[in-house]
Amino acid sequence: MDKPRVAFFDFSSCEGCQLQIANLEEAVVEVVKLIDIVAFREVMKEHSDDYDIAFVEGSITRPMDVERLKKIRENAEILIALGACAHLGGVQRLSNQWTSEENKQEVYGDYVSDPDDIADTNPFFEKPRHRALDEVVEVDYVIPGCPIDKGEFAKVLIAILQGKKPPIPDYPVCVECKKKENVCMFEIGKFCMGPLARAGCDARCPSAGNECEACRGYVSHPHSNAQSDVLEKYGLTADAIMQRKTMFTYRYEEAGKGGD
Ligand code: SF4
Ligand code: SF4
Ligand code: SF4
């Protein structure tokens, strides 16, 4: 059987998730043995629009992005959202709380008041509202996180090549955090999204003394699957945690719901 042809694309993002893949180092040799990479702007000049699997990083922002993403979807048999920008709309989605004009004014100040200025006329500024990929096209799989975990990328790719469902956990970060015997952030007066956040990162942030911001999104059913003993111990509810605004969870607020 021919090797699957794989392409990587990016929209509004910092390209950090693609960088994780570029940094697979020795493992990249093994990965490249399994697939033919036909487009990956961050690491190669060659480009082909003939591919089977598309990994797409970044949020969808402008009408031109919608058209480009739809073409990628048409070409790809399997489309995978790569990282929090593609999965949730990313940190940049917080800007959806304000109008385009307010955002431009905040970033460029008086620069935008001159009608000849590029910020007023450049199509790259047209209607910038951030959305996740699955709000525009059908997405087959998601590799969550900001950035993605390169080991998880390799596991997902191998599962897809074997025709299996990728092994993305659907239980809260608290489970991994407790296994590591970390002191709970709530014990030291901090806040943490761990009871609702999707695990798979090995509780990276609380293990380093930082609050979890749910960069991997919520578990599928946060009201029923949340880490109930943590919630109970600290007198919390899933709703109380959801009301706390974080960098990555504005998607859920906009949708007025929890979970994927
Ligand atoms: S998810 Fe994070 S690391 Fe990945 S592209 Fe978006 S901002 Fe960058
Ligand atoms: S709430 Fe946060 S710090 Fe506490 S156990 Fe859960 S993940 Fe760990
Ligand atoms: S601990 Fe939370 S914010 Fe940190 S990497 Fe894991 S899911 Fe993301």
Centre of ligand 2 to C-alpha 84, Å, is 20
pTM of this structure: 0.91
Which bound ligand lies closest to the C-alpha atom of 185?
A: 2
What's at 62, amino acid-wise?
Answer: R
Give the per-residue pLDDT at 114. Answer: 58
SS3 track for 171-236: CEHHHHHHHCCCCCHHHHCCCCCCCCEECCCCCHHHHCCCCCCCCCCECCCHHHHCCHHHHHHCCC
Record: fold of 5-90+130-161: Rossmann fold (3.40.50)
- Per the CB < 8 A criterion, the answer to whether 194 and 176 are in contact is no
Give the per-residue pLDDT at 78. Answer: 97
**Predicted confidence pLDDT, tens digits, the chain (260 residues):** 578 999 999 999 999 999 999 887 776 667 778 899 999 988 888 899 999 999 999 999 988 999 999 999 999 999 999 999 999 999 999 999 888 888 888 887 776 555 555 555 666 666 678 999 999 999 999 999 999 998 899 889 999 999 999 989 999 999 999 999 999 999 999 999 999 999 999 999 999 999 999 999 999 988 886 788 888 888 888 888 888 878 999 999 888 755 45
Cβ of 213 less than 6 Å from ligand 3? yes
Centre of ligand 2 to C-alpha 239, Å, is 16
Give the per-residue pLDDT at 103. Answer: 84
Give the per-residue pLDDT at 115. Answer: 56
List all residues 6 or more positions away from 84 whose beta carbon is below 8 Å from its beta carbon.
90, 91, 144, 145, 146, 215, 216, 217, 248
Give the per-residue pLDDT at 109. Answer: 76
Centre of ligand 3 to C-alpha 54, Å, is 25
Ligand 2 proximal residues by C-beta, below 6 Å: 173-174, 177-178, 182, 184-186, 192, 194-195, 203, 206, 212, 227, 230
The structure tokens listed for 161 are: 């090549």
Three-state DSSP at 147 gives coil
Give the per-residue pLDDT at 253. Answer: 87
* Range(s) within the chain of domains with CATH label 3.40.50.700: 5-90+130-161
